[in-house]
């Protein structure tokens, strides 16, 4: 079993920045596609971003393109989500996810095999 643990969530003012991290453990995940999803109260869980195992290709939702950056961490089996110019509508629980189909970079929640517990991000006006 692969375990994913998110960290870095918290309260931040609109226009500010914060970084979320996802650390993986268990079976090797170095070749997995890693993604982030988020869910706000009363809304469906939505795709945010995903990165191929090589780091050569990254996919972003239109709502975060140009503001968020997803990268492989320097530590093995970690990914970092840098959130810049955050907006109140970014407030949500953010979930890290892993897709064992390594060649695929998907927007679909059903394509991901492992999930973290989520971390709360709150953006104040």
56-69 tens-digit pLDDT: 799 999 999 999 99
User: Contact 112/97 with Cβ under 8 angstroms?
Assistant: yes
Q: Is the pLDDT at 29 greater than 70, yes or no?
A: no
Tell me what the mean pLDDT of segment 10-27 comes to: 94
User: Contact 114/2 with Cβ under 8 angstroms?
Assistant: yes
Q: Is the pLDDT at 28 greater than 70, yes or no?
A: no
pLDDT tens figures, 74-122: 776 889 999 999 999 999 999 999 998 878 999 999 999 999 999 999 9
- CA distances 82 to 2, 18, 28, Å, are 23, 6, 24
pLDDT for res 64: 98
Supply angle C-alpha 67, 53, 56, rounded to 5: 60
């Amino acid at each position: 079993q692969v375990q994913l643990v998110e960290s870095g969530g918290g309260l931040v003012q609109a226009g500010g920045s914060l970084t979320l991290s996802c650390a993986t453990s268990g079976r090797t995940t170095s070749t997995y596609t890693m993604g982030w999803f988020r869910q706000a109260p009363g809304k469906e869980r939505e795709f945010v971003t995903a990165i191929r195992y090589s780091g050569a290709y990254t996919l972003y939702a239109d709502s975060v393109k140009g503001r968020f950056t997803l990268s492989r961490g320097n530590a093995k089996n970690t990914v970092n989500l840098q959130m810049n110019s955050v907006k109140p509508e970014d407030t949500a629980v953010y979930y890290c996810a892993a897709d064992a189909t390594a060649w695929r970079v998907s927007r679909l929640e059903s394509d991901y095999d492992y999930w973290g517990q989520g971390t709360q991000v709150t953006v104040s006006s």
